[in-house]
Chains A and B, each alone.
Chain A
Amino acid sequence: MDTQPIIVSASPHVHSDRTSKRIMYDVLFALVPAFLVSLYVFGISAFIVTAVAIVSCLVFEYVIQKYLLKTNITIGDGSALITGILLAFNLPSNLPIWMVIVGSLAAIGIAKLSFGGLGYNIFNPALVGRVFLLISFPVQMTLWPTAIENNTSFVDAITGATSLGAIKEGLMAGETMTEIGTRIPSTMNMLFGFTGGSLGEISGLALLLGGIYLLARKVITWHIPITVLVTMGIMTGIFWVIDPEQYANPMIHILSGGAILGAFYMATDLVTSPMTKKGMVIFAIGIGVITVVIRLFGAYPEGISFAILIMNAFVPLIDKYFKPRRFGTKIKAKILQ
């Protein structure tokens, strides 16, 4: 026998080839189509905001871990990278650079590392970053560059409201949906991404493409994204049927305001979503309902970021009460006992 020692460890002695890193890079790959659309629609500014968000997330993670926490550096695991991209996807492409950096600090420093790092955070870091910015800088966070016309400049973009913002404003001013409908992009334009909005949320089609990839790679399951969208569709549908002049139709709600981005990429964040399929469905219904309530009756035109963060807080409770059914606890089995 050669000199290397024989290893003795407990079973199992094989391991699947699925690693945390692979999961992270699958998510990255899934975000590519949406990023390409936003590059086309918003031009160089989309690239700048994304790059700044990624770099600042990585730098903050490194600096905080090395000098403040003095723990292992984990920037190589891909999670800070994804936080950066998802944060950028949730920001207007013309946001001042320093605000992007502040958002990154909130995401990595407050939402992730102060809770104990990867796996321990209760709230989705990218959404904490976004909501932190939305509350701190409401004006800049709700000025969106309009699509296509200005994809070469960064600062002097013409800005306008998002579809949902326009609807909300119009309804507040007493207009009907038919009147507002002339000012907002068509459903087709929303699907392909020719609409105002946050950097990564605009193209429903590109996001769905990546979402299907994630489903195929089994990084996510259908439970959260489909349930969120179906809940939103049903709820907005009921209101729309009751009064189509006062409520936007379900297609508009699903295709705008980051609903698809939220449902497929933010709500499905492994760390901050429930562990069981039953729990995931409950969690997703909660997100759908809260989103619609905020959109229809709240002050903000969009609402999915808040909805996800609120439901994130319920995850420990959901995990506690919605457990997988233990083998051997069928009612029939109980009688036999």
Chain B
Amino acid sequence: MLKTFLKGGVHPPENKLTSSKPIKRMSVPKVVYVPISQHIGIPAEIVVNIKDKVEIGQVIAKSGGFVSSNIHSPVCGTVTKLDKIVDTKGYKKQCIVIRTDPKNASNFEEPTLTLKKNFDLSSDEILNKINDSGIVGLGGATFPSHVKLSIKEGVAIDHLIVNGVECEPFLTADHRLMLEKAEEIIVGIKILMSALHVDKAIIGIENNKRDAIEVLKELARNETGIKVASLEVKYPQGSEKQLIQALLNREVPKNGLPLDVGVIVHNVGTIFAIYQAIQHNIPLTERVVTVTGKNLKNASNYWVKIGTPIKDLVNEVGGLPEGTRKIVNGGPMMGQAIKNLDVPVTKGTSGILVIPEGEASRGEVKNCIRCSDCVTVCPMGLEPHLLMNLSEKGLYDRANDEDILTCIECGSCSYVCPSNRPLLDYIRFGKSIVKQLNTV
């Protein structure tokens, strides 16, 4: 029996179309749009001016506080504008626009780095380096990594969990990274283990990525304390709380953090970024993005510079196919649909999904037939039908009492509802109001 989390979950079709496509390098964009708020927390502060020349990896916006992150220039070029552009959520956000210098060779050369296994840094040095390198959680939450790693005195941690689950359908960025950069990831894990003073690390991978499991198992055999665990394929296993339960059978308390059960979780992408930063002094300026969709001819995985407009990615795979009705930033379960292709890739972009006619619209909303499927699939033990009703009727106090804020917005309820009820839409809405009311 493969391990998995205990309650709820769904099995959407996996559609991992690009799992055998090696990660290619995206052509260098002519212009990059680098938002100053690519992470959860305080936006970074711009430290460049219009017409400044910038180098790859130069800090262009400085961390605005503890829960914030540096932003580095992904290209060599000239700052042309400090402008507001629409982000994936539809809001206008401050951006630094940089025109790539087409004559500068450093923009185009591929980094050929040799594996560097040894490191000799103290915890603080590692943490500072991670902080300086602008590393945030690359699994999608984009929480600044150094905050997660700064553990208060007296908090005991015994496990580092490495999240290679990638439970979102279609996405294969983490899968390819684990295959192609396995050794680097193992070194990254060792760096984090030494920084955190933990001697046990578990890499959790769903069983639909057999090849990655084999490769990492082989490497982990020579390491002490690193284990690879294959997990049953079930969404939303990549959610921190569900993953901890699946691997260690520990339950993060309500409103608590993984630290409360002695665990810290990092995505494999983040681990690789940490390796790059510590061993090669390379800040986070690019990431792996899966560009996929059933009708895309050249769906594949790409190394993409942060700030590349999604338009460029779409052009790279041969343009939008005829009959495209939806473009999603991220996977189909939790990604955001976008209208404007000028939206840039940010640190949190794990994939671009193109959805054709027929699969893009929702079905007709019908009456709730109380089938209880939403209750059954909710991994958090909530009652989505009830939360939707309470939010719809404006009974926010009761929604709060029914733990609406613990919803992880995985979308399993909306996915499974036979009456196509917009459960998660109303729950999100209710959550936002409850949050506002709670802060008053």
* Residues of A bordering B, CB below 8 Å: 1-2, 4, 6-16, 18-20, 22-23, 77, 79, 117-120, 270-277, 323-330, 332-334, 336-337
Knowing A9-B362, A22-B418 are in contact, say whether A270-B370 is a contact too (CB < 8 A): yes
Asked if B260 is at the interface (CB within 8 A of a chain A CB), the reply is: yes
Q: Quick check: A10 and B428 within 8 Å, CB to CB?
A: yes
Q: Quick check: B253 and A336 within 8 Å, CB to CB?
A: yes
Asked if B367 is at the interface (CB within 8 A of a chain A CB), the reply is: yes
Contacts of A325 in B (CB 8 A): 7, 381
Knowing A22-B418, A117-B367, A119-B368 are in contact, say whether A328-B255 is a contact too (CB < 8 A): yes
Contacts of B372 in A (CB 8 A): 270, 274-276
Q: Quick check: A328 and B336 within 8 Å, CB to CB?
A: no
Provide the bound-state CA to CA distance between A75 and B216, in Å.
56
Beta-carbon nearest neighbor of B251 in chain A: A330
Q: Quick check: A16 and B12 within 8 Å, CB to CB?
A: yes
Knowing A2-B323, A275-B370 are in contact, say whether A327-B251 is a contact too (CB < 8 A): yes
Contacts of B428 in A (CB 8 A): 10
From the candidates A2, A6, A273, A326, name the one contacting B339 in the complex (CB within 8 A). A6
Contacts of B328 in A (CB 8 A): 11, 13
Q: Quick check: B367 and A326 within 8 Å, CB to CB?
A: no
Q: Quick check: B332 and A12 within 8 Å, CB to CB?
A: yes
Knowing A330-B251, A332-B251 are in contact, say whether A13-B382 is a contact too (CB < 8 A): no
Asked if B395 is at the interface (CB within 8 A of a chain A CB), the reply is: no
Asked if B361 is at the interface (CB within 8 A of a chain A CB), the reply is: yes
Q: Mark B394-427, 1 if CB is under 8 A from A, else 0.
A: 0000000001001001010011111110101100
Knowing A6-B339, A14-B169 are in contact, say whether A275-B375 is a contact too (CB < 8 A): yes
Contacts of A119 in B (CB 8 A): 367-370, 419
Contacts of B363 in A (CB 8 A): 15, 19
Q: Is the interface of B mostly helix, strand, loop or mixed?
A: loop
Asked if B337 is at the interface (CB within 8 A of a chain A CB), the reply is: yes
Knowing A276-B375, A328-B406 are in contact, say whether A7-B252 is a contact too (CB < 8 A): no
Provide the bound-state CA to CA distance between A333 and B258, in Å.
11
Contacts of A323 in B (CB 8 A): 383
Provide the bound-state CA to CA distance between A274 and B90, in Å.
40
Knowing A7-B361, A23-B418, A337-B260 are in contact, say whether A118-B336 is a contact too (CB < 8 A): no
Provide the bound-state CA to CA distance between A12 and B384, in Å.
14
Asked if B227 is at the interface (CB within 8 A of a chain A CB), the reply is: no
Provide the bound-state CA to CA distance between A4 and B385, in Å.
33
Knowing A14-B415, A270-B371, A275-B370 are in contact, say whether A326-B382 is a contact too (CB < 8 A): yes
Contact size range, B = 35 or more
From the candidates A77, A79, A328, name the one contacting B254 in the complex (CB within 8 A). A328
Beta-carbon nearest neighbor of B170 in chain A: A14
Q: Quick check: A6 and B327 within 8 Å, CB to CB?
A: yes
Q: Quick check: B326 and A7 within 8 Å, CB to CB?
A: yes
Contacts of B325 in A (CB 8 A): 4, 6-7
Asked if B40 is at the interface (CB within 8 A of a chain A CB), the reply is: no
Provide the bound-state CA to CA distance between A137 and B338, in Å.
63
Asked if B360 is at the interface (CB within 8 A of a chain A CB), the reply is: yes
Asked if B378 is at the interface (CB within 8 A of a chain A CB), the reply is: yes
Contacts of B411 in A (CB 8 A): 11-12
Beta-carbon nearest neighbor of B10 in chain A: A16
Knowing A18-B373, A328-B254 are in contact, say whether A8-B415 is a contact too (CB < 8 A): no
Provide the bound-state CA to CA distance between A207 and B362, in Å.
36
Q: Quick check: A271 and B370 within 8 Å, CB to CB?
A: yes
From the candidates A13, A23, A272, A275, name the one contacting B383 in the complex (CB within 8 A). A275
A/B interface sample: 28 pairs, CB < 8 A: A4-B357, A8-B90, A8-B337, A8-B339, A10-B424, A11-B334, A11-B337, A11-B411, A11-B424, A12-B411, A12-B415, A13-B328, A13-B355, A14-B169, A15-B417, A18-B416, A23-B369, A119-B419, A270-B371, A273-B370, A275-B370, A275-B385, A277-B376, A325-B381, A327-B252, A333-B253, A333-B256, A336-B256
Beta-carbon nearest neighbor of B413 in chain A: A12
Contacts of B252 in A (CB 8 A): 327-328, 333
Contacts of A329 in B (CB 8 A): 253-254, 381
Contacts of B371 in A (CB 8 A): 20, 23, 270
Q: Quick check: B383 and A324 within 8 Å, CB to CB?
A: yes
Closest beta carbon of chain A to B143's beta carbon, Å: 19
Q: Quick check: A326 and B406 within 8 Å, CB to CB?
A: yes
Knowing A6-B326, A328-B241, A333-B253 are in contact, say whether A16-B416 is a contact too (CB < 8 A): yes
Contacts of A79 in B (CB 8 A): 369
Q: Which residues 302-353 of B have a CB within 8 angstroms of A? A: 320, 322-328, 330, 332-339, 353
Provide the bound-state CA to CA distance between A277 and B414, in Å.
20
Contacts of A16 in B (CB 8 A): 10, 12, 415-416
From the candidates A4, A9, A324, name the one contacting B375 in the complex (CB within 8 A). A324
Provide the bound-state CA to CA distance between A119 and B255, in Å.
33
From A20, A79, A271, A325, residue with most partner B Cβ within 10 Å: A20
Provide the bound-state CA to CA distance between A274 and B366, in Å.
20
Provide the bound-state CA to CA distance between A332 and B307, in Å.
45
Closest beta carbon of chain B to A208's beta carbon, Å: 22
Closest beta carbon of chain B to A79's beta carbon, Å: 8
Asked if B164 is at the interface (CB within 8 A of a chain A CB), the reply is: no
From the candidates A6, A12, A324, A334, name the one contacting B381 in the complex (CB within 8 A). A324
Knowing A276-B375, A332-B251 are in contact, say whether A11-B370 is a contact too (CB < 8 A): no
Q: Quick check: B414 and A12 within 8 Å, CB to CB?
A: yes
Provide the bound-state CA to CA distance between A333 and B245, in Å.
12
Knowing A7-B337, A11-B332, A15-B362 are in contact, say whether A328-B256 is a contact too (CB < 8 A): yes
Closest beta carbon of chain A to B168's beta carbon, Å: 10
Beta-carbon nearest neighbor of A330 in chain B: B251
Provide the bound-state CA to CA distance between A10 and B324, in Å.
17
Q: Mark B1-33, 1 if CB is under 8 A from A, else 0.
A: 000000100101100000000000000000000
Beta-carbon nearest neighbor of B5 in chain A: A327
Provide the bound-state CA to CA distance between A79 and B367, in Å.
12
From the candidates B335, B361, B378, B406, name the one contacting A324 in the complex (CB within 8 A). B378
Beta-carbon nearest neighbor of A332 in chain B: B251
Known interface pairs A9-B362, A337-B260; 15 further A-B residue pairs with C-beta atoms within 8 A, sorted by A's residue number: A4-B357, A8-B338, A11-B336, A13-B360, A15-B420, A19-B420, A20-B369, A77-B366, A117-B367, A271-B370, A274-B372, A323-B383, A328-B380, A333-B252, A336-B260
Contacts of B366 in A (CB 8 A): 20, 77, 118
Contacts of B415 in A (CB 8 A): 12, 14-16
Q: Quick check: A12 and B424 within 8 Å, CB to CB?
A: yes
Asked if B379 is at the interface (CB within 8 A of a chain A CB), the reply is: yes
Contacts of A324 in B (CB 8 A): 7, 375, 378, 381-383
Provide the bound-state CA to CA distance between A274 and B69, in Å.
48
Contacts of A8 in B (CB 8 A): 90, 326, 337-339
From A12, A272, A273, A274, residue with most partner B Cβ within 10 Å: A12
Asked if B359 is at the interface (CB within 8 A of a chain A CB), the reply is: yes
Contacts of B370 in A (CB 8 A): 119, 270-273, 275
Contacts of B361 in A (CB 8 A): 7, 9
